[in-house]
Amino acid sequence: SRAELGMPTCLLCSCVHGSVYCDDLELDSVPPLPKDTVYLYARFNKIRTLRKKDLSGYAQLKRVDLSSNGLTSVEAGALAQLPALEEVLLAGNELVALPELPPATRRLDARQNHVTSKGVAADMFEKMKQLEYLYLSDNQLDFIPVPLPDSLRVLHLQNNNIQQIREDTFCKPKELSYFRKALEDVRLDGNPVNLSDAPEAYTCLPRIPTGATF
């Protein structure tokens, strides 16, 4: 690729005040970035693998957008090594598993991939105490990825294969005073789950999820 031929990244991409825009350049890897990069946009390329070395040493990187790349794998630690990372945008790729993320992550958008429930590490989201926005629609999930952090505001799971909601999916049946005040937007439409099957499952939510009640 042109990046590997030694072309400076800021000639190939455009670099503006900490943002690097590398959209639609037929890149097959993340090019070397200025060390003070805060926002990276590398959408509509051909980056199939995100390697750990691609993003090592970027202490200020807050947003990584690799949407629509045909991305199939993220090396262990590639994203988790970024201490300031808040937004991870991976929509429209070929991922079957979610990568490990740093605890500061606020937004994960992995819509339109092939992520299965086996591809979500146990308790992955529980330790992400800053997570507010989780977009996992149009994947192949069989289960809601619990436990979910109290910080969560938006959970989009439409068009998966989720068949069951339990009383403890969102709430804590033994703690009657428990209330999830942040989680106002839960979407489960397009799943083979009947929201009416577990009426007690939503008592701690500000509003009932969107989905089928057949």
The beta strands (E) that lie in the chain are given as: 14-16, 19-21, 39-41, 49-50, 63-65, 73-74, 87-89, 107-109, 133-135, 154-156, 185-187
Name beta bridge partners: 189. Answer: none
Q: Model confidence at 8, in pLDDT bands (50, 70, 90)? A: confident
Return the amino acid letter for 69: N
- So what's the pLDDT on residue 213? 81
Domains of the chain, by residue range, sit at 1-206
Please write the tens of the pLDDT for every residue from 143-179: 999 999 999 999 999 999 999 999 999 999 999 899 9
pLDDT digits (tens, 9 = 90+) for 37-82: 999 999 999 999 999 999 999 999 999 999 999 999 999 999 999 9
Which one-letter amino acid corresponds to residue 128?
Answer: M
DSSP class per residue in 48-77: -EE-GGGGTT-TT--EEE--SS---EE-TT
- In this prediction, residue 5 carries a pLDDT of 45
Number of CB atoms found within 10 A of residue 139's CB: 24
Tell me, what's the pLDDT at 3?
A: 45
Classify domain 1-206 by CATH number: 3.80.10.10
CA angle 43, 106, 201 (to 5 degrees): 115
Q: What gap in Å lies between CA 201 and CA 214, rounded to an integer? A: 16
**pLDDT for 7:** 60
Task: Single out the residue of 114, 91, 97 nearest to residue 161, CA to CA.
Answer: 114
The C-alpha atoms of residue 50 and residue 115 are separated, in whole angstroms, by 16
Cα–Cα distance, 53 to 57 (Å, whole number): 9
pLDDT the model gives residue 194: 94
